[in-house]
Chains A and B, each alone.
Chain A
Amino acid sequence: MNIVVPIKQIPNLTDELEINGDGTGLDHDALQYVLNEFDEHAIEEAVLAKESAGGAVTVVGVDTTGELDGALHTALAKGADKAAKITGDFPRGTDSHTQARLLAEAIKDMSPDIVLTGVQAADDRDGQIGPMIAAHLGMPYVGVVTGVTVSGGKAVVHKEYAGGVMAEFEVSLPMVVGVQAAHQPPRYAPVSKIRQIAKTAKIDEIAGGEVAGAGSTVRRMFKPEAAGHAEMWDGSPEEVAEKIVAMIKEKGLLK
């Protein structure tokens, strides 16, 4: 079975996000990039599927940061078999529509049985990449998926709704899946193994085409002005604990 995992790097959300001079985007130079956390789950689910049904896993991404190799090496260390990057003049924060089209072009030549990607990324302002790849490739798509089992040219997927309700679908391959969470938390790859792989691994380079544009234009980007903000308590954990207890008592929930 041929499994392809498209991945995307996004700004590290624990960093302070600064807005650029004209107020229409992020100041990307000031940002650290990390792999989209849902893509980590997609990699895990792909490796699990390979381990149970056999086949090979190829990880592919658009290199918008010049630093995609690190993410690809990590994926290889976790059990992916091949890695590829789409290169070109792509700015950081390249829109989803462009990345999806470039990924679809690259993936077409890989003849996948199943494409597993993260259900969303925090910077998908113009939409999630998975369903777009599926539309470009003419494949069916099911997202918000927490379990994929593949056998005999079919996939059984579990899709989540609110409140823990799930739907089971049977889908004929090839298909694209938007992974919400893998069957098990993403495995850890030891740094020493990643380093070793970085020395020997071959990353295929695919020349990408043009940046297409998102189809919409950001007029203004700003930090949300919260309708309210918590009244902050200073002090030691003991002092904070005292205040919490007082509040709960005030509600009549504690004697």
Chain B
Amino acid sequence: MANDIFILAEHLNGKLADITFEMTGKAKELAAAFGGQAVAVLLGSGAKSLAESIGADTVLYVDDSTLAEFNPEAYSRVLAAMIKERGPRVVMMGNTSVGMDLGAGLSVMAGLPLIAYVNGLAADGGMFVATSQIYGGKIQAEAVPDGEACIVSCLAGAFPADAGRGSAPVEQIASPVPLDDLKVKFVKLIQPEGGDVDITQQPILVSIGRGIGGQENIELAQELAEALGAAVSASRPITDAGWLPKTRQVGKSGLTVKPKVYLAFGISGAPEHLEGMRGAELIIAVNTDPKAPIFDVAHYGATCDMLDLLPALTEKVKGG
């Protein structure tokens, strides 16, 4: 078996996702420790220039018209064939909307273990050790695969991206398997509707989570935002409930924001939320649970009831 580390390159709209570089940097370190190569695998169509901008040891670029856009079935088939043919030691993919469709299925197809939600990876002697962040960020689990080889799905932001930028020799190949009988057909990409407010451009965000309790309380956040000249953003449950538009959602499937001040009220701090806001300059969190993971990324925190705090804060702001 080869000691190569495969990295699935992720791209959308003609742009590589940061997770590609994050994993590539880490893969180079692991490959060096195991005596193999960091091999980025890019599936696409007419995307050679993207393949050329990954700083792996080598890039395998599979060009096929069915791979122009992400298609879970096509990707799974191609990757399963490549894993079988080339027997990498580790296959890395993002624990992203793309990787979440692939890793677990490939694990069954290829008969390899999968370690998910990975935010730490190391070579320890001849062994491969992966740390997963589970239970909504409350627990870390350090695990080793039972066999030699393994698939891991990595959390976005877990590793620095810079070490994975650069370029590498690109080997272009045709799909190793036929892709003409797919049951999944990509139809189109749907861009988000333009929101009333662009939360990525606000210096202050009043961000609310499930702790707000009910739709009738949204107003309290809006009043505060108005007084501050800020905008209201939210965690996913709030936009899922339709209490605020999707364009106000911060996180993995929402937007990444970097305001000067991020006020997180009634947000637990699930990894998917942190992904979108940990880059804020100043984070102040209010949550009744002193153990909420949001306090691990916040600079300042308080455990009072947000429903008492919001009106008090609005008053103070208005009072000057």
Contacts and interface: CB of A to CB of B under 8 A. Distances in A.
Contact of A232 (B105, B283, B295): B295
A216 B139 contact: no
Interface string B5-28: 000000011000000000000000
B103 A164 contact: no
B188 interface: yes
Given A213-B146, A247-B282, A125 B134 contact: yes
Contacts of B147: 215
B113 to A, nearest CB: 3
B84 to A, nearest CB: 14
A135 interface: yes
Contacts of A162: 96-97, 252-254, 256
Contacts of A255: 320
B185 A181 contact: no
Contacts of A253: 203-204, 228, 260-261
B172 interface: no
A168 B153 CA distance: 24
A96 interface: yes
B108 A247 contact: no
A179 B194 CA distance: 25
Given A232-B301, A244-B313, A144 B285 contact: no
A187 B304 CA distance: 30
Contacts of A112: none
A231 to B, nearest CB: 5
B296 A226 contact: yes
Contact of A11 (B135, B191, B242): B135
A16 B295 contact: no
Contact of B143 (A11, A132, A169, A219): A219
| Residue with the greatest number of chain A CB neighbours at <10 A, chosen from B130, B253, B300 | B253
B108 A135 contact: yes
B102 A131 contact: yes
Interface string B189-219: 1111000000000011000000000000000
A110 interface: no
A161 interface: yes
Interface residues of B, number: 104
B177 interface: no
Contact of A164 (B141, B150, B247, B303): B247
Nearest to A255: B320
B253 A161 contact: yes
B255 to A, nearest CB: 6
A122 B253 contact: no
B192 A163 contact: yes
A171 B312 contact: no
A221 B141 contact: yes
Contacts of B114: 126-127, 215-216
A107 interface: no
Contacts of A214: 113
B304 A168 contact: no
Interface in B301-320: 301-305, 308-309, 312-313, 315-317, 320
Contact of A251 (B96, B282, B312): B282
B183 A248 contact: no
Tell me whether chain A's interface is mostly helix, strand or loop, or mixed.
Answer: mixed
Interface string B76-120: 000000000000000000001110111111111100111111000
Contacts of B135: 11, 13, 17, 122-123
B254 A164 contact: yes
A128 interface: yes
Contact of B185 (A131, A169, A218, A242): A169
Contacts of A221: 139-142
B105 A124 contact: no
Contacts of B103: 127-128, 131
Contacts of A217: 143-144, 146
| Residue with the greatest number of chain B CB neighbours at <10 A, chosen from A127, A160, A169 | A127
Contact of A230 (B130, B301, B309): B301
| Residue with the greatest number of chain A CB neighbours at <10 A, chosen from B139, B183, B204 | B139
A143 interface: yes
A245 B313 contact: yes
Given A13-B135, A237-B305, A216 B115 contact: yes
Given A181-B236, A242-B316, A247-B261, 14 more contacts: A14-B289, A125-B115, A131-B104, A135-B106, A135-B109, A141-B101, A158-B190, A162-B97, A162-B256, A168-B189, A216-B143, A232-B303, A238-B316, A240-B302
19 contacts: A13-B138, A13-B268, A17-B139, A100-B104, A122-B135, A132-B105, A142-B72, A160-B97, A160-B253, A162-B96, A164-B249, A168-B189, A169-B186, A221-B141, A222-B140, A230-B285, A237-B304, A240-B312, A254-B228
**When A and B form their complex, which 9 residue pairs have the shortest distance between CB atoms, in order from nearest?**
A215-B113, A164-B192, A230-B301, A226-B296, A127-B104, A131-B105, A135-B108, A230-B298, A131-B104
